[in-house]
Amino acid sequence: MKRLCLVLSRGSIFRVVSWIVLLLWPAISGLAARQERLIDGWRPVHYSVSITLDDQLTTITNARAEITILVIKPGVTVIDLDFGEMTVDSVSINNASAEFEHTAGKLNLKLRQPFNPQSRLNVSVTYHGKPKDGLILTNDKDGNPSAVGDNWPNRLHHWIPCFDHPSAKATITFSVTASDRNLVVANGRLDRVQTTAGASRTWIYSERVPIPPYCMIIAVGQFAKLESAKPAVTPLSYYVPQSDRKFAMQGFAPASPSLKVFTQTVAPYPYEKLALIVGATRYGGMENSGAIVFTSNLFARRNSAQAISSVFNIPRGTVSLISHEIAHQWFGDSVTESTWSDLWLSEGFATYFAGLFLQKSEGEKAFQDYMKNTAETYFRYARNNRTPIFDTETEDLNRLLNGNNYQKGAWVLHMLRSTLGDQAFFRGIRAYYRNHKNATASSEDLRVALERASGVDLRPFFKSWVYGAGHPHYQFSWQWDPAKRVIKLNVNQLQVEPYFPNPLTIAVDTGRGTRQFILKPVSKETVQEFRLSGPPVAVHLDPNNQVLKEVSPGS
Ligand SMILES: [Zn+2]
């Protein structure tokens, strides 16, 4: 390597150093904050999307997206829609053709004049082609053509021009034309089915409450459609490949009781109907509003080695998967995370509420086992990942589907429930839901709702568990002083992170009964003494397993 010899003035040295610092800043600070597209100058209010598919469901022969847009800030001159690589045929704004630029995942529409805040624009985009992603055009497990939306986290823009961030919620109407061999299902209520030219039918669905873009889907295919026998909460139907017809009723049996439990625990079901679909998704289940898609091998799990649910006679993992996706209808779909850092408000809630459903349907032991497995999955993740749940840095959104947002998030809720008690916890959850339904929420919104319901200051808890990394690693020991008849309890917190403030229950068995004491850590070392009538026989830290923790014996 050649050495560079530079003669620099003081001013230019300063400039060079400044540039080096600027260029290296993300590496030096380690704080490369993720850039998220948040609502700023405009937002979508409603999408009306018409899609015509070819006979074999291999391409969109023509499509039109009419988008109602609300201008928020003065001086907006460009509507910058997210849009993938399909071919744009024309664009109009308020019925006048408009100039546009379509490059690199963006469709920029130029406004002829800036509109005032609160004005509404009607944007219309016609387009066609084969979407690269988002609408999956593939054969179902029986080899029949199918077209199924699968948009998480931001893949809607591959087939619909949109504002592709979960906070940009909007209502949507789908009008889907396909060969009459197919059934079509989408979000919302089926308004009508029309027979159209050339052995086609057009299906019109409308979702009347705003949903996040990653939940906007259609599913087209030669489905067997079955109706649930007991749709107590909302119309409930199943769309499965023909070969799954005989498994669907039993396989989806947990759906109706899940709907009932969550309705009773939280609030009425938020959408017009619920369709459970078996088809193309890259996930085990995808919680699209009112139209959940499950992986094609869902019912093959019945042959697996997993524990079988004694209530539903299918693998317990399938029971919790179905109730997880149904819980998302309230948490994630109706109350949507305002940023990707708040994703645990979707995944942690769905994971915990699936546990609550097990607790209600299969009993306390099944729930305890579920929470234990959840903790183990988190600990495996935490061995190599020491980041907060509230993750502002991870760029690859798929990597947010992790032990923090799912399992640790569920445990955060479990600990809040244990700390606040069932009454205050569920009162707070219901208030949180009520205040943010059909809208968005942040982690702070949840904290405030639970504080109002309980009167407890939860800032220290959230600081440790949501905004801080890791979990407590307790080193626990005790000594009995027979002269003073006092037990001395000693809890050290060994984790690298600051102390966790969770109160700790200690159960002391004296041979003549059990006494419980509560330790309240205010630093990494907690020492407290309690009087006892007789010597302890056994002493247990957190006997009811209410804290997500590791424990080592004291020295
Ligand atoms: Zn989920």
**pLDDT class for 300, splitting at 50, 70, 90?**
confident
Residue range 304-326, pLDDT digits in tens: 667 899 999 999 999 999 999 99
State the distance from the centre of ligand 1 to the C-alpha of 410, rounded, in angstroms.
11
Instruction: Give the single-character DSSP code of 37.
Output: -
CA of 254 to the centre of ligand 1 (A): 16
Helix or strand or coil: residue 74? coil
Whether 24 has a pLDDT exceeding 60, the answer reads: no
125-169 per-position pLDDT tens digit: 999 999 999 999 999 999 999 999 999 999 999 999 999 999 999
pTM over 0.95: no
Contact present, 126 and 63 (Cβ < 8 Å): yes
The pair of three-digit structure tokens given for residue 116, joined into one six-digit string: 């005032």
240's tokens? 């499965």
Residue 229 CA to ligand 1 center (angstroms) comes to: 26
pLDDT at 265 over 80: yes
Report how far ligand 1's centroid is from the alpha carbon of 405 (Å): 9
**Ligand 1 centroid to residue 398 C-alpha, Å:** 12
Q: Which residue has the tokens 């097990």?
A: 358
Q: 407 CA to middle of ligand 1, Å?
A: 11
* Contact (CB, 8 A) for 440 and 211: no
Ligand 1 centroid to Cα of residue 160, in Å, is: 23
Q: Each residue of 210-224: pLDDT tens digit? A: 999 999 999 999 999
pLDDT in tens, 411-449: 999 999 999 999 999 999 999 999 999 999 999 999 999
How remote is the CA of residue 213 from the centroid of ligand 1, in Å? Answer: 16
* Contacts of 67 by beta carbon, 8 Å cutoff, 6+ apart: 44, 46, 47, 48, 81, 122, 123, 124, 125, 161, 162
Determine the distance separating the centroid of ligand 1 and the alpha carbon of 75, expressed in angstroms: 39
Predicted local distance difference test score (pLDDT) of residue 232 = 78
Using 50, 70 and 90 to split pLDDT, how confident is the model at 327? Answer: very high
Instruction: Give the pLDDT score at 31.
Output: 55
Which percentage of the chain shows pLDDT scores above 90?
Answer: 90
For residue 294, how far is its CA from the centre of ligand 1 (angstroms)?
A: 12
Q: 32-68 as b/e, with b when 16 or more CB fall inside 10 Å? A: eeeeeeebebbbbbbbbbbbbbbeebebbebbbbbbb
Q: Contact, 427 vs 453, CB < 8 A?
A: yes
Distance (angstroms) between ligand 1 centre and the Cα of 347 equals 5
285: CA distance to ligand 1 center in Å? Answer: 7
Judge contact between 53 and 177, C-beta under 8 A: yes
pLDDT bucket at 196, cuts 50 / 70 / 90: confident
Residue 20 confidence class, pLDDT cut points 50, 70, 90: very low
CB within 8 A of 234, min separation 6: which ones? 259, 269, 271, 272, 273, 274
* Chain position carrying tokens 């769905």: 350
Q: Of the ranges 6-15, 117-126, 237-246, 520-529, which one carries the lowest mean pLDDT score? A: 6-15
Q: Residue 7: its pLDDT value, please?
A: 31
Report the separation in Å between the CA atom of 288 and the middle of ligand 1, taken as the mean of its atom positions: 10
CB 53 within 8 A of CB 176: yes
> pLDDT-derived band of residue 29, with 50, 70 and 90 as boundaries?
very low
Separation of CA 481 and ligand 1 centre (Å): 51
